[in-house]
Amino acid sequence: MANVVVVGAQWGDEGKGKIVDWLSERADVICRFQGGHNAGHTLVIDGEVYKLHALPSGVVRGGKLSVIGNGVVLDPWHLVDEIATVRAQGVDITPETLMIAENTPLILPVHGELDRARESQNSVAKIGTTGRGIGPAYEDKVGRRVVRVADLADEATLTTRVDRLLVHHDALRRGLGLEPVDREALIAKLKGIAPEILKYAAPVWKALNEKKKEGRRILFEGAQGALLDIDFGTYPFVTSSNVISGQAATGTGIGPGSIDFVLGIVKAYTTRVGEGPFPTELFDGDGQRLGERGHEFGTTTGRKRRCGWFDAVLVRQTCATSGVSGIALTKLDVLDGFEELKICVGYELDGQRLDYLPTAADQQARVTPVYETMKGWSESTEGARSWADLPGEAVKYVRRIEELIQCPVALLSTSPEREDTILVTDPFSD
């Protein structure tokens, strides 16, 4: 059976939650493979709204196994609170339906404190972090001093891990004018949360490989978007993990040969939250209209998203770095009623034409978009469930996007409701 990776192909907020939910009904296992609770997915199911941050989107579907992989950094206290929230909405979460990789790094209170202190004192260039501690937790992971889920099971190991961590953090805190960490209180806090987390702990790599041998369908769910990838994004205005599809393998412990289809989620226009370059950003009435019609506010932070025209250059680039097999185009209905639409088909930089976004930050900030103008449509696309339901100009817009990004549309989403989806290519087909 086919296994599918879902990645955001822009700066996040592309509508992954709905698409993953739509696909998860046909999957057996749904895995989160990177990021932390700085990501947010909003699901609308039968009128009920679920806002998920740490939990995989598949938890709202009964009879599925949801997995938090080792590529994630996990705030255990946030997870417990989120589980309580969705339980209150009628979702049953048990060790039979949720599994956490034993080697998953933990986000501790010291990580959030460091994150916020750095951002507030940074007078050079703010990154736009959510302040949730994701970056510092990833730093400690590669610095080999992070506390992992398995460490919670043994007090001696836990104490050793905390001591190694605090040697580093207390030195940083002195430089930032913060008080040293209360070691005993931190250890007590970890020991208190341990039973709530350990009951879900398991060797995820082993479980997933067994599921694969059994012929189960596995759906790998990414957070954020490829333009926020630590290597291939608009550095330094990026997240602290690899977001592109290759991370699905290393972030769960299943081989890359197990990935059969990569689905890139692409919004029919472009948005971004926080700082960093944005070549097609609009500061006029069109940009305001996109934001209002698209309800462009972050699920996690509530921050207003910056809005702009569709950037085919960037999406073509992310489709290449993630090996995207097909895209799911979302929020087409937000474009209803525009007389004209623009698509970025290239950049100009110092008098030269470019067909990609350069790596250097100063060049990224200076590129100007080259636009192609297309006729809009006055009819509504909201709720369309077949190509025949779409206005002719909307179909032309979608087809032009396919040509420019050199990748076919596999799914087309026309509203937040999961049923309002046009299936072109089944990602789960062999």
- Active site residue ranges: 13, 41
* CA gap 226, 326 in Å, rounded: 15
Please give the single-letter amino acid code of residue 300.
T
Q: Which residues contact 177 (CB under 8 A, 6 or more apart)?
A: none
Classify 387 as helix, strand or coil: helix
Structure tokens at 157: 């190991």
C-alpha to C-alpha distance for 146 and 157, rounded to whole angstroms: 12
- In this structure, what are the phi and psi dihedrals at residue 354, rounded to the nearest 5 degrees? -120, 145
Phi and psi at residue 95, in whole multiples of 5°?
-60, -15
Q: What is the spatial distance between Cα 378 and Cα 391, in angstroms, rounded to a whole number?
A: 8
Distance CA 66, CA 151 (A): 22
**12 φ/ψ angles, rounded to the nearest 5 degrees:** 90, 180
H-type alpha helices, 155-282: 155-175, 183-198, 204-213, 247-250
Angle CA 181–36–145, to nearest 5: 40
Q: Which of 169, 264, 268 is nearest to 225 (CA)?
A: 264
